[in-house]
Amino acid sequence: MQESPNPGVKWGFIAGVVLILLNVVTWKAGPQVLFSFWNSISQLALLIIFAVLAGRERKKQVGPYIGFKTAIKPVYTTFILSMLMVTVYQFVLYKYIDPSLSAAMKADTLAFTERAMRYLNAPQDIIDQQVESIKATDFTVSFTKSFLDYLRIVIFYFAVAAIIALILRKKAPEQQHS
């Protein structure tokens, strides 16, 4: 019996294209939109939806029962492929298309950190320490940084994929022997 193709490849590609298009739209809208909390949440939600669709498609392929290992493969593949596509796109965007984005991201991170710490009533000396730490951080994009960020992302998404696979799995009922 021939195994069906991994639906994670299809859904990963679709998710990658959709996320890149969303990134292009938010980049054109400006740094306030591109770096917004809601943009990040929207992209995460979309990615999870595509991963669930991949898992559900695999479930339809194998029948009513699906084990954890069978469920996690397409879900995680969706994350790996789509995030690879997005990472390559963002590397090209930050490195070649709009190198000023690194400075804009640094400024946004500074402003967000200061706002958040003030909201949490952090002491001024702690706020100053954090601001100085961010100012000293290099936000320029390199191949090595992009690759390491990608590895961190896929490790995080493995945990998300595992949760989705646990939700999707359905064990076959135990056979009663008489």
Tokens standing for 107? 């400024």
Q: What is the mean pLDDT of residues 69-93?
A: 97
Q: What is the pLDDT of residues 123-150, one digit of tens each?
A: 999 999 999 999 999 999 999 999 999 9
Residue spans of alpha helices (H) in 63-119? 68-92, 101-119
Cα distance between residue 82 and residue 93, in whole Å? 16
Single-letter amino acid code for the residue at 124 = Q
Tell me the per-residue pLDDT of 9-44, one tens digit each, with 9 for 90 and over: 999 999 999 999 999 999 999 999 999 999 999 999
Tokens of 85: 């596509």
The pTM (predicted TM-score) of the whole model is 0.89
